[in-house]
Structure 1
Amino acid sequence: MDRKSDSLKLMKNRENLYRFLVRLYKIEIDEPLLTQMKSMSFPVECCQTKLSEGYRILREYLDNCSSDPITDLASDYAKIFLAAGIADGSAAFPYESVYTSRKKIIMQDAYDQVKAIYAAKGLKKNDDEGSEFYEDHISLELDFMAFLCHETQYILGTQDESKFLSCVKEQMDFLSKHLLNWVPRFCSDIEKYADTKFYKGIGKITDSYLALDYTILKSLTD
């Protein structure tokens, strides 16, 4: 394969993984998704130990589900991300503002910043699942990374390929400023509050994949 084809394939694979993560954080797991995930093949050996561990934990859960996994996962989703049933309200609240603002509350500087970034691309929240989230919600920030991956594919396929490098740098910039600056702590909290191995595995996968993805992007610029 030539360099352009390799880059297109890489961007497509990255887009697919980001969209997969978006779905996991946007709403609870339903039966069709769980069935699909049970049939998926996950990497056995990855270049990052933590990523391999995350896939192993997720595979172990999928292979040994309880009799009512949908209910168990819905309950765990509410506990982890909404603090449902937690007396002191501790949770892995899925907003950048909560992890980066002095007051640890929503709709702070990060919210304004990402909202402006989305608007500059002509983007706004869709009227579907997740429309009630603020713009710095984990699912919307991951969705923006998927959008940037898709945009890069379009540029590679139909426009001046010299713009490819600027697209990669744009992705690196958003990843470093609006994901890597808070998601590692967020994922640590997921592992802390999760009862199911499903979400413990997802936390590890998310954290380690974002770090790996930044390394991949940097290698492209080098």
Structure 2
Amino acid sequence: MTSLCANDQSTVSFQRKWVYEFLIVGFKEPLSIETLQCWKDMLYTSNLSVFAEGNTHLNTFFTKLKIENVSEVVEKENNEFFRIFNVFNEKGEILAPPWESVYVTKDQTMFGETVFQLRDKLHQFGLRFINEKEEPEDHIAIQLEFMLFLLQYTEKAFDERQKDDFMRGIYNQYWLLSNHLMQWIKPFTKDIYSYSTSDFYKGIATLLLDFIYEEFEYIKSFKEVLENG
């Protein structure tokens, strides 16, 4: 189906899934003490620190996590999560709203057209947000979870030699990246970097921006290979 061998495809998919999973944990909800303890243990036994390569803020966060009390870290990071993503300031604004609609609609409100586009696409794959109609589906964590689903969908089709499903997976990854994530990820991460005082959240903002741009170029080139060959 492609010029990539199965081993290459498997390795790339594993690396991509690892980054998506890390970002989802960071953006979906406040960090739990179990997650931070797991990360702390992993810093001594695995390559979790690969996320910090070239990322000053994540490197600082992981360095501090090694020596600080986990309970104190989780309290500090949880307070920051709510401060920048959930709590309205004195101007009635959320510092770094994690919803696409806020960045791409003229009135900067939630539940814009992007929500319904994403809802429809989720339905096409038999997926439904558990809080549909109560919370917008264009939240950054939901978009990242959908990308992870599409990656796994595409990988399964590749392994089973299902060409149509494989093409569907690639084209929908491109759709989600080009029509959504690439449309708002830059101002969103800029807001995090501007307003957050946390090395963790500044660090994952940097990782998110760099990774999504890399993802777009990767899937774009993959799509072109398929179309040309």
Q: TM-score scaled by structure 2?
A: 0.83
Report the count of equivalent residues: 210
For 2:49 and 2:62, the matched residues in 1 are separated by 11
- The one of 147, 151, 154 equivalent to 1:152 is 154
- The one of 11, 14, 31 equivalent to 2:13 is 11
* Paired position in structure 1 for 2:57: 57
RMSD: 2.2
Q: Which runs of 5+ in 2 are unaligned?
A: none
Q: 1:209 to 1:121 in 2, by over 3 A?
A: same
Q: Sequence identity, in percent? A: 24
For 1:118 and 1:202, the matched residues in 2 are separated by 25
Report the alpha carbon displacement of residue 172 of structure 1 after superposing the two structures with TM: 1.2
For 2:133 and 2:39, the matched residues in 1 are separated by 25
* Paired position in structure 1 for 2:75: 71
For 1:177 and 1:155, the matched residues in 2 are separated by 23
Displacement over 4 Å in runs of 4+: none
For 1:132 and 1:75, the matched residues in 2 are separated by 24
Kindly indicate which of the two structures has a greater share of residues assigned to helix: 2
Q: Which runs of 5+ in 1 are unaligned?
A: 46-51
Q: Deviations over 1:20-39 (max 9, x none)?
A: 21121111011221123331
Report the alpha carbon displacement of residue 164 of structure 1 after superposing the two structures with TM: 3.2
Counterpart mapping for 1:1-222 below 5 A:
3-38=5-40, 39=43, 40-42=48-50, 52-53=54-55, 56-65=56-65, 67=69, 68-83=72-87, 86-88=89-91, 89-126=93-130, 133-161=135-163, 163-221=165-223, 222=225
Give the letter aligned to residue 34 of structure 1: L
Bigger shift: residues 24-33 or 57-66: 57-66
Higher relative contact order (CA 8 A, sep 6+): 1
For 2:7 and 2:204, the matched residues in 1 are separated by 30
Report the alpha carbon displacement of residue 142 of structure 1 after superposing the two structures with TM: 0.5
For 1:220 and 1:137, the matched residues in 2 are separated by 26
Q: 1:201 to 1:132 in 2, by over 3 A?
A: farther
Q: TM-score scaled by structure 1?
A: 0.86
For 1:196 and 1:190, the matched residues in 2 are separated by 9
* Paired position in structure 2 for 1:49: none
For 1:11 and 1:193, the matched residues in 2 are separated by 33
Give the letter aligned to residue 83 of structure 2: K
Give the letter aligned to residue 64 of structure 1: K
For 2:6 and 2:102, the matched residues in 1 are separated by 40
Give the conservation status (yes or no) of the 8 Å contact 2:52–2:59: no
For 2:200 and 2:82, the matched residues in 1 are separated by 14
